[in-house]
Structure 1
Amino acid sequence: MSKTDCLSAFRVVLSHTSHPGNIGSAARAMKTMGITRLYLVNPKEYPSEVATSLASSADDVLDAAIVVGSMAEALVGTTVQVAMTARRRELVQPLSTPRQLAPELLAEARGGGEVALVFGTEMSGLTIEEVQQCNRLVTIPTNPDYSSLNLSQAVQVLTYELFSCLSDDVSHLEEKPKYASHEHVELFLEHLESTLLTIGFLKPYAPKRLMPRLRRLFQRTRLEQEEVDILRGILRATLEYDRHAERPALPSSKRDHSR
């Protein structure tokens, strides 16, 4: 069983959403975090082409969305209801942040419970009556001088905190390098030595400390095959440039008259 399977116990409830674009954007936010159950309480406009456009390929979430006529209907079967609020309210429930509450919600889901994440309208949020139907309150910490969050942004933050508790592994995004083999590195070092001799940087009669130092330099760096190919391309271009470069004539005072 996947670590994220318990996310199937979560539903996002959007109450009286006035702009269909926010429904689409919320669906996109949900799907990126592995939550696909969407409930809509009396949306002003739905279905909507605007919602589909902003869902950005989260059409399956929109297609499966359940439209209901009341908050009570949206919460049927849930054991924990989390009201998102940005206002001070004279209510009994303590106010938590998404990060503080996420472990409790995941434990509830793993134990067989159903969790509703409840969001209100864009302008005024949830009503007092809607909040009273929930048994948890959550708020997103923001700049106290400017705490305006778009509805879909709030959905994204809360669902992200849930998902990141389950998995913060991003190794699947890392490029898997193809490292150069020993023989390819040796061929490069031979090519490098030959080039340095040709352009006069490596003096055959001088103490041979340069190549051992260069060898250590490249051995400290685990070269990828593409990097070896690039370096050898630079060496070939260096020799080509040296071969075709026009060498300026020496001034007469500098010419060798010893013959």
Structure 2
Amino acid sequence: MAKPASAEEVRAFHARLMAVASGSDDPRLERVFDIVPREAFLGPGPWKIMVNERYVETPTTDPVFVYQNCLVALDAARRINNGEPFLHARWIGAIAPKRGETIVHIGAGAGYYTALLSMLALPSGRVHAYEIEPGLARRASDNLAPFEGVTVVQGDATELPLPDCDVIYVNAGVVSPPGPWLKALRPGGRIVFPWRPSTQLGVAVMMTRADTSFTVRLLGPAWFIPCVGASDPAGCIKSPSLSQAHSIGAAWLIEDRAPDDTAVALCRDVWFSGGPE
């Protein structure tokens, strides 16, 4: 009979899957998923895994159970989870964190994906992790203490100033991306966020800053808990249909350029330009 795989072997295979899911040829991605243990950021097992909006508890505390493409509860009562690895692998592959960059992580939870981002920013990079829930922020601070260049801020990232940065990684649903977030991006800076301009639409959006505009790329479906301070339905004055959302190629801050007749989405601080439906 074959010997059961160890937790280390399972994590190494999981890391290989994440590297493929990322769509990136950066060899560091497989390495960071391999060396950062997911279970260390989930609290003691057994763990609750979400399936069809219900939680199923793992039969034991063996960490092999969390190395699958699943949501794992961080706070089951509030339905706050550590997100699906395939989705995050794709996002990380798309934003392509580079050595020495400054990264802002909004909605850091207990810090697992913050840790991965921090490893990709080494050496000399920085990660500023924002978490609004005090209990989760304390857990993130403890979990991330061994990681170099990470600062955890407990508070509302829509109200607090963000540092100038190269990457903003948002893990909470946003109706209207706040202007101050976009202004914090340096030229060439990237932001990825779950966009919820209406109850019918949930997509991951990556925006890359040019001189006075942003290129826009959709990364697939995304449904996250709402981002406090950026989830007011009134924040999106004109919401796109799904096909219109897929036509978006560019965006501008309203203060830099007034919306024109190509606008398929109009938010409080930014508008999105697309082709005909």
- TM-score by shorter chain over 0.5: no
When the two structures are superposed, what TM-score results if normalisation uses the length of structure 2? 0.24
When the two structures are superposed, what TM-score results if normalisation uses the length of structure 1? 0.25
| Structure number with higher relative contact order (C-alpha < 8 Å, ≥ 6 residues apart) | 1
Larger proportion of helix: 1
